[in-house]
Structure 1
Amino acid sequence: MTPQERSRPPMTLVYDGQCPMCRQFVRLHRLRRDVGDLELIDARQESTARRELSTLGIDLDDGFALRIGEHWVHGSEALHHLALMSTGSGLFNRLMARLFASPRRTARLYPWLRAGRAMLLRLLRRGPIDNLRR
């Protein structure tokens, strides 16, 4: 473990475990290997993280959420942070690191990714996460 990895705060990624795109992203990005101590949580399962996000008004149907230490980032900002943490090992990780290294570019591309996810979930007949519904 490098000194940089030891100094990183604990992180949690809450993503849609029923979305094939989301699952594939998490698998291909090799997040645990590249980022280090990262807890992966399926947004469709009840969890403390999901309740916390609901309390904060963060809609998981609008994108995944990443907690770095005690601070949550959501959607394009979360994707940008993950891209910056990538080691760039492997073709997929290099592509993601380059594509999402710019916060502006990530913010412009993220709505397209979100729309693709929504269309895919409709085709698969999977409902929304609804973490804000009580």
Structure 2
Amino acid sequence: MSRPGIDIVYDGECPFCSAYVKMVRLREAAGPVRLVDARSDDPLVGEMRRRGFDLDQGMGMRIGDDYVHGDQVMQRIAMMSSASGALNRLHAWIFRDARRARLLYPGLRACRNATLRLLGRKPIGAGAG
């Protein structure tokens, strides 16, 4: 399943997740990035699940043969993102530190989950078969 570039699996129905993956300008700094909706039938979604990643609890990322999940995705994105723009610089400062990313990620995930409930959207796992 390995291919060049970076794959990010995120919740396409989450307004925060969708805005985030577009905001970080990762392509400018890291090259080819493929964004995969975790609610799709893309084979990478199945691979993430086989690896034990709960996509309701965090994004997944594949870089070559390396797979990461949740706060580790945020940290890797922060390390690879373009430093252009105030939001990207702030994001990089916050999430490049693994400890800060690990501490802040549960709160971000809780906000995401609450927002999806308010919008009447089902968890990703509810659509998995």
TM-score (norm 1): 0.89
Q: Which residue of 2 aligns with 1:88?
A: 83
Q: Distance in 2 between matches of 1:16 and 1:52?
A: 16
Q: Secondary structure at the match of 2:68?
A: strand
Q: Residues 64-102 of structure 1: CA distance to partner in whole angstroms, max 9, x if unpaired?
A: 011111111000011000000012111111010001010
Amino acid at match of 2:90: L
Q: Secondary structure at the match of 1:61?
A: coil
Q: Which residue of 2 aligns with 1:104?
A: 99
Asked if 1 retains the 8 angstrom alpha-carbon contact of 2:11 and 2:37, the reply is: yes
Q: Secondary structure at the match of 1:72?
A: strand
Number of positions where the alignment pairs a residue of Structure 1 with one of Structure 2: 126
Q: Distance in 1 between matches of 2:25 and 2:126?
A: 26
Asked if 1 retains the 8 angstrom alpha-carbon contact of 2:39 and 2:127, the reply is: no
Asked if 2 retains the 8 angstrom alpha-carbon contact of 1:59 and 1:131, the reply is: no
Q: Which residue of 2 aligns with 1:64?
A: 59
Gaps of 5+ in 2: none
Asked if 1 retains the 8 angstrom alpha-carbon contact of 2:14 and 2:112, the reply is: yes
Q: Residues 42-77 of structure 1: CA distance to partner in whole angstroms, max 9, x if unpaired?
A: 111111100101111111001001111111100001
Asked if 1 retains the 8 angstrom alpha-carbon contact of 2:26 and 2:82, the reply is: no
Q: Distance in 1 between matches of 2:41 and 2:53?
A: 15
Q: Percent identity?
A: 44
CA RMSD in angstroms, aligned pairs only? 1.5
Amino acid at match of 2:50: T
Matched, 1:128 2:123: yes
Instruction: Please show how residues 47-58 of structure 1 align to structure 2 within 5 Å.
Output: 47-58=42-53
Asked if 2 retains the 8 angstrom alpha-carbon contact of 1:50 and 1:131, the reply is: no
Amino acid at match of 2:53: I
Matched, 1:26 2:44: no
Q: Distance in 2 between matches of 1:57 and 1:123?
A: 27
Gaps of 5+ in 1: 1-8
Shift of 1:131: 7.6
TM-score (norm 2): 0.92
